[in-house]
Structure 1
Amino acid sequence: MTITVDETAVPAAPTAESVRVDGADRYPAYDFSRPAQLDRESIRHLEAGFEAFARLWSAQLTAKVRVRAHLALERVELVSYEEYAETLPLTTAMVVGSLVGREEPCVVQFGLDSALLWVVQMMGGRSTSLPEARTFTPIELALVRHLMEDTFEHLHAGLDGLLPGEPRFSAVHYNPQYMQVISAAAAVIVARYSMRLGDAENTATVMIPASAVADRLAASGSDAAAAHTPAHTVAQVRSTPLELTLRLAPLTIGAGEVLDLAPGDLLRLPHPETSPFELVAGNTRIALATPGSRGSRLTCLISTTSEETH
């Protein structure tokens, strides 16, 4: 008797380590240190507010600096303050605005080179390129402060009541890593902009504490949800356009007959002359109707609706 042994390798059973690795690849670990994400309605509300602020700020810079300015909103995100600070340059202009009744401030951040270009233009100079970044002199700081007081007013107006009050100019910081006006783990809402001033391009950000707008965002979301009543839904359904078709009874013929059709051929339709036509929307019959005319236009007279036949 001969015994043949199959030496084909048998796949090894998955080990706990391989299962863990595959699971990690498929289901990334949740980082509980990150703040919760904003819902879509809140994101849309914030984006609309920050876009309105961008238009107001652009108009302000164009009028005050006398060079055409343009700001475009790139994105709005919810992160911790530490994550936000890590994305900023080591040296930049962070203008702090205090909020009434709150310890956490809001921040408008932009490049020092952009601000120095603003100062040059406001002082009557002309420049087509960004100057070298440096901290402000007392006179430059006074001009920037005057400019930013109006900017905070526009921020409050653009966000349309989301902030608890109009921010007030507090200070200018140059190093985000050492700016300890808010906890590193605190959740903040950040709007990121691309900025163009004449031919010079740069970036800017606006940071507001999430706790300052959370209640107002929730209220606006509930108000929006309450506004969508059943009556609104019915009204939208009633205003939806539908294409209606007046249809005869269908005729079934072979494919060969269709291929042999020629001009002048007659097809005998199975629809009785005295029977009404079907009025359909899509493939759904909604009524029976008889054809007619009014002046030069063809019409149909509804004789029976589908509800009456049930």
Structure 2
Amino acid sequence: MTTILEEAAMTGVPATGESTARYPAYDFSRPAQLGRESTRQLEAAFESFARLWSSQLTAKIRVRTHLALEGVELVSYQEYADTLPSTTAMVAGSFAGREEPCVVQFGLDSALLWVVQMMGGRSTSMPEARTFTPIELALVRNLMEGTLDHLSASLGGLLPGAPTFSAVHYNPQYMQVISGAAAVIVARYAMRLGDAETTATVMLPASAVVDRLAATGSDAGAGHTAAQTVAQVRSTPLEITLRLAPLTIGAGEVLDLAPGDLLRLPHPETRPFELVAGRTTLAQATPGSRGSRLTCLITTTPEETP
């Protein structure tokens, strides 16, 4: 069969630049943000923790303590570490069976004030920040074991288990137990110790929390059924093409083509065309028309082909 070289493809969905222009570019260097409902659920849990922690500190160090939640965000660990002082107290809590820790962070000057108060001393101002001595570390560890218990009680099923005291780190940049690109959930607090004001944070590994957060949401019981999945697939736009059997020619022949040239196509006149999506053959069909519109009549599908 000899035919004039013309476009022989029939597209089911027109390809336009508008379909991609509607969607903003996704920044893979930043994790996706928390949903509004998830944020509210986390805020309620972290506010409960703030009340328990402030009550614990008030009872232990005998200084009236108040914590106010400033916000909850989902960031990378490196972004979180960049907001912290170069030297600070980071109490790591480990989960059984997981490498990623949770972290309760506060200023070293705040912790040293706690130690002074717990040992019966009195301080009218914040001590100068420095790393802990072995005795101070033992006192801080005893205090923070109770704090981690309060964290577990407040977040409940959002955690993969009860965190246990692991270690105290002093430099957020050198904390090697978590990747800088790992997504973390951070709660930031304004802390008042008597007349002194400072800050504190709680960091949770997002990988340990996000799935549990979704499972405890209001739509947790409305999981996608098989019928909903099929309906979604059926409604997805798919570009299809009606094509003849392909012809292989040399690159030189392509460069020499000109209007009016004829190409002999290896497609028998009695053979139906192929209806394809990408490289997958969906069916065989014969071309036709209905009024001014091009059509094709499905003759066989892969299941019917012997």
TM-score range with shorter-chain normalisation? 0.5 to 0.7
Residue 178 of structure 1 is matched in structure 2 by 174
Structure 2 stretches lacking a partner, 5+ long: 1-22, 223-306
Structure 1 counterpart of 2:126, which letter?
L
Residue 304 of structure 2 is matched in structure 1 by none
Alignment of 1:262-301 (within 5 A): none
> What is the aligned length?
200
The answer to whether the 8 Å contact 2:214/2:220 transfers is no
**Cα shift readout 1:235-293 (whole Å, capped 9, x = no counterpart):** xxxxxxxxxxxxxxxxxxxxxxxxxxxxxxxxxxxxxxxxxxxxxxxxxxxxxxxxxxx
The answer to whether the 8 Å contact 1:108/1:206 transfers is yes
| In 2, Cα distance between equivalents of 1:33 and 1:206 | 22
**Cα shift readout 1:3-27 (whole Å, capped 9, x = no counterpart):** xxxxxxxxxxxxxxxxxxxxxxxx9
| In 2, Cα distance between equivalents of 1:145 and 1:120 | 15
Which protein is bigger by CA-based radius of gyration? 1
Alignment of 1:183-262 (within 5 A): 183-223=179-219
The answer to whether the 8 Å contact 1:119/1:140 transfers is yes
Structure 2 counterpart of 1:188, which letter?
V
Any idea what SS the aligned residue of 2:81 has?
helix
Structure 1 counterpart of 2:104, which letter?
V
Structure 1 counterpart of 2:31, from 9, 16, 35: 35
TM superposition shift of 1:217: 0.6
The answer to whether the 8 Å contact 2:105/2:200 transfers is yes
Alignment of 1:117-196 (within 5 A): 117-196=113-192
| In 2, Cα distance between equivalents of 1:30 and 1:129 | 48
In angstroms, what is the RMSD of aligned CA positions? 1.5
Percent identity, aligned pairs only? 84
| In 1, Cα distance between equivalents of 2:31 and 2:219 | 24
Structure 1 segments, 4+ long, off by >2 Å, are: 27-31, 222-226
Higher deviation after alignment, 62-71 or 157-166: 157-166
Structure 1 counterpart of 2:137, which letter?
L
Higher helix share: 1
TM superposition shift of 1:160: 2.4
| In 2, Cα distance between equivalents of 1:210 and 1:224 | 18
Structure 1 counterpart of 2:156, which letter?
D
TM superposition shift of 1:128: 2.0
Residue 8 of structure 1 is matched in structure 2 by none
Residue 92 of structure 2 is matched in structure 1 by 96
| In 2, Cα distance between equivalents of 1:149 and 1:211 | 23
Structure 2 counterpart of 1:43, which letter?
T
| In 1, Cα distance between equivalents of 2:124 and 2:220 | 46
